[in-house]
Structures are given as C-alpha cells and as structure tokens.
C-alpha cells in the first residue's frame, strides 16, 4: 500500500499572496455575516452521502444553513415522535464552535434536550454514534439521535454537518432528518 504525501508536508506554510492557510477571523466573520441566496443552487442546503457540505466564503456553510438545518431537525424529531436526547458534537476546526452555538440556540428554543461532551470537549463521530446506541439500547421510546459539525479532510475551507439518526436496538435507522427537500428550510429563512 502506498501513501501519497503532500508536497508541503513537514515544511513551513508558504508566505505568498495566495496562501494555503485560512484566515480564521475572516472565516468566522463570513459564517455570521454572509447570507446565502436560496435562488443560487450552490448556496442552498443540500445533503450528500453524509451531510451538508460547504464553505462560509462561498455562502454555502453559514449560520443561516446551521439555523435552517437545526430547525429542520427539530421539526423532524417532533413529527417522528423522537423525544429522547440529541447528542451534539464538534471537532477542532474554526467553524465548529460558532456552528455549535447556533445549533444550541435552535435546540433550546425548541425544547430539545441536548447532550454535550463534558467541558465542551471535541467529539469524534464514533463517540456520538456510541452515545446514541448506548442511550437507545433496550428502548423503544425516548430514542436519542445526534449530529456533529466537522471539517472535511480534503479541505481546511470546507465544513460538513453530519446527522446521525435515532437507531432502535436492532440498529434499524429511522431516517435522516432532512431526506426530501432540505432547501425549503433555507428558502423560508
């Protein structure tokens, strides 16, 4: 098995007008200040194989997206009778904390019980999955679900919001919160 090594691995970041480093204050500012245009397909909420992906600079992962997705999750939970806790996790990347706060505001406004890591620690996806399965073990009601904000491995600029649905003891999934038309939630905002 061969491994590809990036040409900049082990070297100082280049100091050029077009640098590969992300300006974190500008990224966070873009998250809060850029408002996506629902008439532009690339700026709408859109789920791929494991979540919504986008970049704050491109108006495709901003607070508006997180608010719309979080509200859609609350609506779905209510419609499906999911009344157990929601496990919310984050990673170490720049937009995790702002997205975490945005999501918590929506969850609190909807009366959703949210389970967080002790001291707001970072939470790998398997930790969220394990917490959901452990909580749901032996239950038929009060099922838990969860989601996590994290960066894509391929890009420091892109973010992904990954949803993990409630699972019964048998492991059968109840479905993703935003199957169908998640773009309607952004358009309505």
In a domain? residue 14: no
Q: For residue 2, what are the CA distances in angstroms to 5, 11, 21, 155, 175?
A: 10, 21, 27, 21, 37
Rg, C-alpha atoms of the chain: 18
53 vs 104, residue with greater confidence: 104
What angle do helix axes 96-109 and 24-33 make, rounded to 10 degrees? 30
Mean pLDDT of 3-15: 76
8 in a structural domain: no
Q: Reply yes or no on whether the pLDDT at 111 is more than 70.
A: yes
* Higher per-residue pLDDT: 173 or 50: 50
Number of other CB atoms surrounding residue 186 within 10 Å: 22
Considering 25-39, 89-103, 119-133, the range whose residues carry the highest mean pLDDT is: 25-39
Q: Note the pLDDT of residue 179.
A: 39
Residue 127 lies in a domain: yes
Average pLDDT over residues 56-85: 92
Model pLDDT, residue 113: 96
Q: Is the pLDDT of residue 170 over 60?
A: no
What is the domain range of residue 170?
A: 24-33+44-188
How many domains in the chain? 1
Q: What is the pLDDT of residue 189?
A: 38
The CATH number that applies at residue 139 is 3.40.120.10
39 within domain boundaries: no
Whether 129 is in a domain gets the answer yes
pLDDT tens sequence across 26-41 = 999 999 999 999 999 9
69 with 52: CB under 8 angstroms?
Answer: yes
Could you tell me if residue 5 is inside a domain?
Answer: no
* Residue 115 lies inside a defined structural domain of this protein: yes
Q: pLDDT averaged over the chain?
A: 79
Task: Return all residues near 174 (Cβ < 8 A) that are at least 6 apart.
Answer: 80, 82, 143, 145, 165, 166, 167, 168
Is residue 117 in a domain?
A: yes
| pLDDT reading at 135 higher than 90 | yes
């Amino acid at each position: 098995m061969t491994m590809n090594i990036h040409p900049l691995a082990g070297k100082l970041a280049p100091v050029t007008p077009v640098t590969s480093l992300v300006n974190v204050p500008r990224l966070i500012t873009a998250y809060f200040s850029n408002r996506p245009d629902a008439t532009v397909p690339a700026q709408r909420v859109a789920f791929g194989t494991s979540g919504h992906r986008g970049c704050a600079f491109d108006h495709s992962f901003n607070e508006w997206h997180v608010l719309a997705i979080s509200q859609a999750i609350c609506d779905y939970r209510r419609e499906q009778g999911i009344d157990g806790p929601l496990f919310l996790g984050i990673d170490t990347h720049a937009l995790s904390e702002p997205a975490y706060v945005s999501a918590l505001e929506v969850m609190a406004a909807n009366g959703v019980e949210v389970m967080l890591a002790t001291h707001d620690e970072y939470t790998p996806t398997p930790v969220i999955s394990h917490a959901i399965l452990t909580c749901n073990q032996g239950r038929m009601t009060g099922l838990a679900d969860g989601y996590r904000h994290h960066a894509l491995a391929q890009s420091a600029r892109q973010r992904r919001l990954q949803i993990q649905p409630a699972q019964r003891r048998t492991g059968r999934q109840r479905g993703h919160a935003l199957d169908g038309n998640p773009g309607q939630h952004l358009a309505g905002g």
